[in-house]
Amino acid sequence: MKKIKFAGLKSFMKGRGFIGALCLSVVAVGIATYIAYDNTLREITAQPSFTPELPANNNVSDVPKDESSEPETTPTPETSQPPETSVPPKDEQTNNFVTAPSERMLPVDGEIITPYSGGELVKSETLGVWKTHDGIDIACDEGSEIKSAAAGKVVSIYNDPLWGGCVVIDHYDGYQGFYYGLDTALEVNEQQELAAGEIIGRTAAFDCESKLPPHIHFGVKFSDKWISPEEFVKG
């Protein structure tokens, strides 16, 4: 009898019955696992949550501040004011680095009988040679007073065999005046400061241009180069 049951059980295990029993076992295990998980979750949810209480005045001054977290405040720039400009008094001269030209004039009133040649060769009636005429000849009687054409300082006085008494005046700003054909008895001395129109001497006869009517020879240099005396006077 036992042999027959064992044989029948063995046959059952080999058939569909075994597969069905296995499936039931898997389902039972799954249901038991779900029930256990659900119970655990309910217990956790049922516990009261803990929220830390803060002081009523929310005073957190005892907590060190994180300076890096505070926003930087840009100081409000002060309204810029234009720099004060001092205006010099009317009676105080302002230096503009420009020298105002002094009064200029011809050294004597008269006709220009020989003009400035501007570097061109002209024939000298007295010497009979071709040469430049580096000034102007102004007709005037012998003994006529000769004036300084502009303010300046006497830098040289000398006698020349051909030109007679000669006076050189520094008229500043690079200009120099040359006064030839003067009497040796002069009214000025070297290094003397002169105003425009101040008397420097009187005319006299001289050999270099003796065939011309009595006159004064007047020349002007700028930066050591001859220029037109008339242009100098016009300024």
Q: Percent of the chain having pLDDT more than 90?
A: 53
Q: Does 91 score more than 50 pLDDT? A: no
Contacts of 198 (CB under 8 A, 6+ apart): 147, 148, 188
**Is residue 102 very low, low, confident or very high in pLDDT (cuts 50, 70, 90)?**
confident
Cβ pair 137, 215 in contact under 8 A? yes
pLDDT of residue 188: 97
pLDDT in tens, 185-198: 999 999 999 999 99
Residue corresponding to tokens 């003009």: 115
- Binned at pLDDT 50, 70 and 90, residue 22 comes out as low
Q: Please give the model's pTM, rounded to 2 decimal places.
A: 0.58
Residue 172 has pLDDT above 90, yes or no: yes
46-78 pLDDT, tens digit per residue, is: 555 544 454 444 444 444 445 444 445 554 444
Residue 135 gets which letter from DSSP? S
Tell me if 169 sits within 8 A of 148, measured CB to CB.
yes
pLDDT for position 138:
98
How far, CA to CA in Å, does 191 sit from each of 91, 107, 148, 154, 172?
A: 30, 19, 14, 5, 13
